Amino acid sequence: AVDSTDAGAVDRDGVAGGIVTETLPFHVKIKHVRKLADLHFAQKQEVRTSVRTLMADIEREKDTRNRFVHGLWNFSALAASPPTVSCRDPRWVYTEEGKSHRWQRMRDTVWTLEELDRYLSDLNGLGKRTEAVWLRVQTEMRPQPTTESNATSG
């Protein structure tokens, strides 16, 4: 078994972790990050909570993120006032409403340019939070000097 204090030494540069996770779906990666936060920061509640909160915030953006990445985009400068940007989601979705059941695809999401700009600004803020949490995680995972090594080095 690998002691959780040694886990950072196994993959300091992240290459092994990247190889293991590169083909995993987005929601599985989020699940793994939560589990790793629980493992590594069981005794550091503040760090653990910041990672788990960040993952919840990222997960809330999953559907919109998927639309951005996989959607079919259209800019309608002349057709709408104010101009809009639409994104057609090509994924199939099964819905149930009462006794009605149906499969649907090509659902449109329409944004004004102002709404899209505000949303992208919010995502930028989420990216900055992600970077700050990642830096905190890296700092917390660095090996801490032991008391013995401090006594012998001085």
135 band by pLDDT with thresholds 50, 70 and 90 = very high
57 pLDDT higher than 90? yes
Does the pTM surpass 0.75? The reply is no
71 pLDDT higher than 50? yes
66 pLDDT higher than 60? yes
| 57 CB-near residues (< 8 Å, 6+ apart) | 126, 129
Token couple for 50: 């910041």
Residue 1 or 142, more confident: 142
Average pLDDT over the chain, rounded to an integer: 81
112 pLDDT higher than 50? yes
Q: Are 36 and 54 in contact (CB under 8 A)?
A: no
